[in-house]
Chain A
Amino acid sequence: AQKVTQAQTEISVVEKEDVTLDCVYETRDTTYYLFWYKQPPSGELVFLIRRNSFDEQNEISGRYSWNFQKSTSSFNFTITASQVVDSAVYFCALRGAGAGSYQLTFGKGTKLSVIP
C-alpha cells in the first residue's frame, strides 16, 4: 500500500518569509513518481513538479525548490520569499510505476496562508 503524510495541516507566514512544506511517503515500489500540486480557492489542482525515484537531484524553479531524499522518504517543498499569491492548499502525491499503477495517492494537504 502507498501512503503520503503531510504532517503540517496549516502554516501561516508573513510575506517574504521562506516556508518549507513537508512530505513523507511510503511505498514498496522500487520505481515511483512524486508530485506536488497547488489548490487555490477555485478548486482546480495545479501541477507544480514531478520527480522520479531514481533522480535525487534537487530542483529549483524560480522561488520554488524541492528537496528529494530517498533515504528518509521525504520530498519537501520550499517557497522562498513567499507572496500572498502563494496562499493555497498544497498537496504531495505519489504514484507507483508498476503494472496497474494508475492512481495518484495524495496526502491530506497543507494549507498555506501568506499574510501581507
Chain B
Amino acid sequence: DAGVTQSPTHLIKTRGQHVTLRCSPISGHKSVSWYQQVLGQGPQFIFQYYEKEERGRGNFPDRFSARQFPNYSSELNVNALLLGDSALYLCASSLAPRDNYGYTFGSGTRLTVV
C-alpha cells in the first residue's frame, strides 16, 4: 500500500507569490492534517480536515487555507508568501480526526521563499 504522498517534494517561490501543496492520504484514511516545520523546530499544527470539513485550525494567519476533496486528498494554500513561510510542510493522514493509533506522515514538501 502506498503511504502518504505529498507533492511537490521541493519548491522555490518568491515573496508575495502563492503556493499550493498537495497531499494524498493512505487508502481508507479520511482525515488529513497539515503541519509546518521550521528548521530546527518541531512541527506545528496548521489544519485538520475530516470528511471535507475543517475540524481544527492552528495559530496561523488567514493567508493559510486548505481544503479536502471527495477522494480525501487535500491541498494547502498559502497566499502572499513571506520569507518566514520557508519550512517543511508535512501532511499526516489518519482513519479519524483523533485516531489514537497515531498519524502517518508523508515526507513533506520543502518550501523555500526567496
Contacts and interface: CB of A to CB of B under 8 A. Distances in A.
The reply to whether chain A is a binding partner of chain B is yes
Interface of A: 4, 6, 33, 35, 37, 42-47, 50, 52, 91, 93, 95, 97, 100-109
Contacts of B98: 95, 97, 101-102
A20 B66 CA distance: 38
B75 to A, nearest CB: 19
A44 B33 contact: no
Given A102-B56, A103-B33, A44 B107 contact: yes
Interface in B75-102: 88, 90, 92, 97-98, 100-102
The 7 A-B pairs of least Cβ separation, nearest first, read A106-B42, A102-B56, A103-B45, A45-B105, A47-B102, A44-B107, A102-B48
B95 to A, nearest CB: 13
29 contacts: A4-B42, A6-B42, A35-B102, A37-B105, A43-B90, A43-B107, A43-B108, A43-B110, A44-B90, A44-B107, A44-B108, A46-B105, A50-B100, A50-B101, A50-B102, A52-B100, A93-B42, A97-B98, A102-B45, A102-B48, A102-B55, A102-B56, A102-B98, A103-B48, A103-B56, A105-B45, A106-B42, A106-B43, A106-B44
B40 A108 contact: yes
A80 to B, nearest CB: 23
B97 A102 contact: yes
